[in-house]
Structure 1
C-alpha cells in the first residue's frame, strides 16, 4: 500500500510539472468554465421560465442558477479527466510511455495517480467560484451538514474512476483524438449538465445512461437542491456504486489487454 501511494504521488508531481506550469493555465481553467456557465444561463432567457413554463416540469425556475452551477461543476470535474486522458498521446511521442511500461511499477497506480493530479489541479479554481456563487445566490436545501461533503466525495470518486477508464482507452492508439470528440461534447449534452435527462426523448435517455456523470449529478442535486436524506438517495447511490465498480473492473482488464497488445506489436511509441 505504501509503495502504491508513493507511485501515485510520483505521478501527481510529474503531471503538475508537465501540465500546470504557467499561471495562464490556471487563469483559463477559471475563465473558460465561467464563460460557459454564463452563456448557458442566459440562453434560457428568451424562453418562458415561470411556474407554468415547460421548464418548470423538470427544474424549479427559482433553482435554475443552482441547477446549472452543480451541472457545470460536475462537467468540469469530468472534462479535466477527458483532457488528461487525451494527453496520453504526448506520453507516447515523448517516450515516457515506454519507460512507464518497462519500469516495475503498478499500472493502476500510474493511471489513477494521473487522474487524481489532473482533477486536483484542474477544478479547484472553478470550485471556488461555484462555492462563492452559491453563497451569494442562496437557495441550497440540504437535510444536514454532511450533504455537502458527501456530494463532493461522490463527484470526486466518480470523476477519478471515469478518468482512469478514459486514460486506458487512450493507451490503445496514439491517434485517439476522435475519442475526445465522442466523449466530451455528448457528455455535456446528455449527462444533465444543462438539460434534465427526463426531458430527453427515449433514445437520448439511453445515451445519458452511458455517462457516470448522469448518475452523480442526479444524486448531488437531490442532496443539495431537494434536501434528500441518506435513505432517499440510497437506491441511486447503490446504482452509482455498481456502475463505478464495473468501470474499475473494465479499467483493470483493458489495462492488461493494452499492455499485452503494445508488447506484442511494439507500438508503445509509434501507433
Structure 2
C-alpha cells in the first residue's frame, strides 16, 4: 500500500509539472469553460420555454441556468480526463510508456495517479466559478446541506475512474486522435449536458447509456434541482456504482492485456 501511494503521488507531481507549467493554462481553464457555458445559456434563451414548449416537460425556463451549470460542471470534469488520456498516447514518443511497463510499479497506480492529477488541476478553477454562479442562478433546490458535497464527491470519483479507464484504452495505440473525437463531442451531445436525455429520441437515449457522465448528471440534478434525499437517489446511485465497478474491473484487465501485447510484439513506440 505504501508503494502504491508513492507511485500515485509521483505520477500526480509529474503530470502537474508537465501539463500545468504556466499561469496562462490556468487562465484558459476558467475562461474557456465559462464562455462555453454562457454560449449554451444564450443559445437556449431565445427559444420558447413556456408552457407550450416541448422542453417544458423536462425543465422550466427558471431552471435553465442551474441545469446548464450542473451539465457543464460535469462535462468539464470528464472532458479534462479525455484530454489527459489523449496525451497518454504521446507518451510513446517520449519513451515514458517503456519506463512504465519495465519498472516494478503498480500500473493502476500510475494510471489513476495521472487521472487524479489532471482532474484536480483541470477543474478546480471552473468548479469555483460554478459554485459562485450557483448563488446567482435560480432553480437550486437541495434537501440538506450535504447534497452538494455528495454530488461533487460522486462527480470526482466517477471522473477519476473514467479517466483511468480511458488512460488504459489510449495505451494501445499512439494514433488515438479518432478516439478523442468519438469520446469528446458525443459525450457533450448525448450525456444530457445541454439537453435532457429524456427529451432525446430513442437512439439518442441508447447512446447516452454509454457515457458514465449521463448517470452522474442524473444524480447531480436530482440532488440540486429536484431536491431529492439520499434514500430517493439510491436507485440512480446503484446504477452509477455498478457502471463504475465495471469500468474499474475493465481497466485492470485491459492494463494487463496492454502490457502483454507490448511485451509480445515489442511495439511500444510503433502503431
Shorter-chain TM-score tier: over 0.9
Displaced runs of 4+ in structure 1, greater than 6 A? Answer: none
Contact 2:63 2:138 in 1 (8 A): no
The equivalent of 1:152 in structure 2 is 152
TM-score (norm 2): 0.98
Contact 2:81 2:159 in 1 (8 A): yes
Contact 1:89 1:174 in 2 (8 A): yes
How far has the Cα of 1:138 moved from its partner?
A: 4.5
Unaligned runs of 5+ in 1: none
Contact 1:75 1:213 in 2 (8 A): yes
Alpha-carbon RMSD across the aligned residues, in angstroms, is 0.9
Contact 2:170 2:176 in 1 (8 A): yes
Bigger mean CA offset, 90-99 vs 111-120: 90-99
How far has the Cα of 1:262 moved from its partner?
A: 0.7
The equivalent of 1:253 in structure 2 is 253
The equivalent of 1:243 in structure 2 is 243
How far has the Cα of 1:140 moved from its partner?
A: 1.8
Contact 1:51 1:61 in 2 (8 A): no
In 2, the alpha carbon distance for the partners of 1:161 and 1:16 equals 19
Q: Secondary structure at the match of 1:6?
A: helix
In 2, the alpha carbon distance for the partners of 1:45 and 1:39 equals 10
The equivalent of 1:224 in structure 2 is 224
Q: Secondary structure at the match of 1:43?
A: helix
The equivalent of 2:17 in structure 1 is 17
The equivalent of 1:131 in structure 2 is 131
In 2, the alpha carbon distance for the partners of 1:172 and 1:227 equals 43
Q: Secondary structure at the match of 2:174?
A: coil
In 1, the alpha carbon distance for the partners of 2:98 and 2:51 equals 59
Q: Secondary structure at the match of 1:155?
A: helix
Determine whether 1:198 maps to 2:224: no
Contact 2:49 2:60 in 1 (8 A): no
In 2, the alpha carbon distance for the partners of 1:66 and 1:59 equals 10
In 2, the alpha carbon distance for the partners of 1:118 and 1:7 equals 15
- Give the alignment of 1:157-168 within 5 angstroms: 157-168=157-168
In 2, the alpha carbon distance for the partners of 1:45 and 1:144 equals 30
**Number of aligned residues:** 271
Unaligned runs of 5+ in 2: none
